[in-house]
Chains A and B, each alone.
Chain A
C-alpha cells in the first residue's frame, strides 16, 4: 500500500535525450549542443566562439589561427565502464609559449554520468574525473618528486607543476574559456606505482581536484574503436614520477647501505691488529740504510701491514723495506714508490699522489724481527736521486686485516650515491625549468 501511496511503482517513462539546437551568431549555421551545461560553443563551420551561458548569446572569440593536430575528433566515441561517452570538446594547452610542449584534452560527455577528461601528452594518455578528496597540503608548492598526501590516506608523488595556457579550443565547454587563459596545475602519481593519478587545477577563483588513471595506447585504441590511433606518433618514453622517484631512492639507499657496510668494514679492518713498531727514520738514516728496534711477529701467514708516513711536498721517494728475522736473518723484502705533488692551476688547487703508503705482507714464521729501511728521494721533477732528502715514520702492525677492497667498494658506493643524488635533483629541477 505504501508503494502505491508514494507512487513507487508508477514510474514514468524516461524522457528522450535530445541535444539542444542553437544558431551560430557568427554565420547563422544550426548547431547541435550535446551538453545542456555548455557555456561556450565553438561553431564548427565558422569557428566563432559563442558564449551561451546567458539567455542572450554573444560572440566572444573568432576562429583560432592555429589548429593543432588532434588524434581524436569531435563526436568520436569513447567506451568506458560499459557506457559510451562522446568527445564534445577539445583543448590544447601549452607551457611557456612552447607549442612542442602541448597537452591535449578531450571532454568526454555522457548525459547520465559525470564527465571525464581524456588527456594526452607526448603520446601518453590519462583519464580523470572530478573528485572531492582534498590534499593535506598545498599541492602547488611541491616540486617534482615531492610527496603529497590526500585526505583519503593515499600518498602521491609530484609528476610536475606549472602553468597551462589555453592555445586552442573547439566543441562545447561547460565554462566560457578564452584562448590565452592560464591555469596553474599540479599532477601526481600514486606512490605505490599503481598508475593512479591525482591532479589539482587552480584558476583565479577556484581550485578543482581530479583523479583517475593512466591509459596505455592499446586501451585508448580499444575505447575509441580506433586501432590505427597513435600509429604516426611514437610515444615518448614513459615516465611515471612515482616509479622514477622510487628507482632513484632505491639506488641511493643501496649506495648508502653499501657505503656504510664497506666503510665500517674498512674502518674496522684498518684498526685491527697489534702495532708492534712505530719509529721515525731521518733522511740520513734512510740514505745509509737503518734497522729498527726489534719487534715480535706471530707468523703463520698472518698479515702484517707496513706503513710509511712521509712529509713529502712536491717530491718523490723510493723506499725499500725488509723484514729481517733476528735468529736466522731471513729477509722479506718490499719496495714502494711514494710521491706527493700539489699546487694551484687556473685558480684551483690540486694534489697528486699521497704522502703515505701501506703494504700488506704475509710472514710465514713467528719470531723477533727488525725492519730494515733504505730510501732515496728528490724534490720537484728530478728523475734521479742519490740520497734521501726526507725522513719517514714507519709503523708495523701484526695480525692486520686487509681493508683496501672494502675501501674501494665504499668509494664506488660514495661515487654512485653522489652521481645518483645529482641526477635525482637534476630530474626534480627539470620540471621547474
Chain B
C-alpha cells in the first residue's frame, strides 16, 4: 500500500501519511493542522507547538509493548486546569491502533470501548463508583479538558482550543483505567490499564539527560 501524500495548504510541505485511519496531520514545518473528510482537505489553522524532550515518548519513537512493535504517530495535549496530560497515538505492527495516556510520566494503554449507558456527566463526582466489564472503578477526576496542542498524525479531528467534559476513573487495585470523554452523544469511552515502566521499551530510551 502506498502512503497517502498530503500537501500542507499553508506552507506547501508534503507529508506522507502511512496509516489509513489518520484524519488529521499537523505540519511539522509550519505547525498548521490539516483535516480531510471524504477526500476533501480542510485547513484547521495554526496549532500550538508542543515542547519536546520532556517525556519518555516522542513523535516518531518506536518500541515494543505487549510483544508488539509500535510507532508513536502523534500527540494531543489536554489541559484540565491544574495541569495537563498527553494522549499519544500509536500504531502497532498488527495493524491496530492505541492511545497511551501520559500523566506525570505515568502511562496507561487505552482502547476505545463500547459501554452501554455510561454515567451522565451531571451525575459525576470524584469518589463515585462504577462497574464496567466486571471491574469496579472509582472516579478520581471530573472536569473540563481543553486541547492545548497537537502534533503529528491523528485518527481524530481535533484542534487547539476545543473543549469537552471528561471523567477519569481507576480501579481500586490501581491496575485498570476508565475514561469518559463527553465529546459526542453517546460519549466516547476508553478502557485500559496502567503500565509499569518495564511494560514498555523504546528503541531509543535516552537514559541520559
Contacts and interface: CB of A to CB of B under 8 A. Distances in A.
B187 to A, nearest CB: 22
A11 B197 contact: no
A5 B173 contact: no
A132 interface: yes
B93 A3 contact: yes
B104 A130 contact: yes
Interface in B64-99: 69-71, 73, 82-84, 91-95
A7 B71 contact: yes
A8 B209 contact: no
B123 interface: no
Contacts of B104: 37, 114-115, 130, 174
Given A2-B95, A8-B71, A12-B58, A132 B82 contact: no
A17 interface: yes
A405 interface: no
Interface stretch (B6-14, B32-40, B111-119, B200-208): B200-208
B172 A206 contact: no
Interface string A114-137: 110000000000000011111010
A39 B82 CA distance: 9
A13 interface: yes
A381 interface: no
A8 B204 contact: no
Contacts of A130: 104, 106
Contact of A11 (B62, B82, B172): B62
Chain B at the A interface: SS class: loop
B59 interface: yes
B83 A39 contact: yes
A36 interface: yes
Contacts of B106: 114, 130
Interface string B169-209: 01111110000000000000000001001000001111111
A84 B209 CA distance: 8
A271 interface: no
Given A113-B105, A132-B174, A134-B174, A2 B93 contact: yes
A350 interface: no
A10 B93 CA distance: 13
A14 B61 CA distance: 7
Contacts, number: 123
Contact of B18 (A6, A14, A114, A136): A6
> Taking each of A2, A7, A36, A174, which has the highest tally of chain B beta carbons within 10 Å of its own beta carbon?
A7
A152 B173 contact: yes
A111 interface: yes
Contacts of A20: 51
A113 B172 contact: no
A3 B203 CA distance: 14
Contacts of A39: 82-83
Contacts of B59: 12
A62 interface: no
A183 to B, nearest CB: 15
Contacts of A115: 104-105
Nearest to B79: A53
A358 interface: no
A35 interface: yes
Contact of B83 (A12, A37, A84): A37
A14 to B, nearest CB: 5
Contacts of A84: 208-209
A134 B209 CA distance: 33
A134 B105 contact: no
B60 interface: yes
B98 to A, nearest CB: 12
A425 interface: no
B136 to A, nearest CB: 9
B52 interface: yes
B19 interface: yes
A6 B52 contact: no
A13 B61 CA distance: 8
A9 interface: yes
The 4 A-B pairs with the shortest beta carbon distances in the complex, nearest first, are A12-B60, A132-B174, A133-B174, A151-B172
20 contacts: A3-B93, A5-B18, A8-B70, A8-B71, A8-B93, A9-B62, A11-B62, A12-B60, A15-B52, A15-B53, A16-B53, A17-B206, A17-B209, A37-B84, A37-B104, A110-B209, A112-B55, A114-B104, A133-B172, A134-B138
Interface of B: 1, 18-19, 51-56, 58-62, 69-71, 73, 82-84, 91-95, 104-106, 126, 138, 140, 170-175, 194, 197, 203-209
Given A15-B52, A36-B51, A134-B174, 13 more contacts: A3-B93, A7-B73, A8-B93, A10-B71, A11-B60, A11-B62, A11-B204, A15-B53, A37-B83, A84-B208, A130-B104, A134-B173, A151-B171
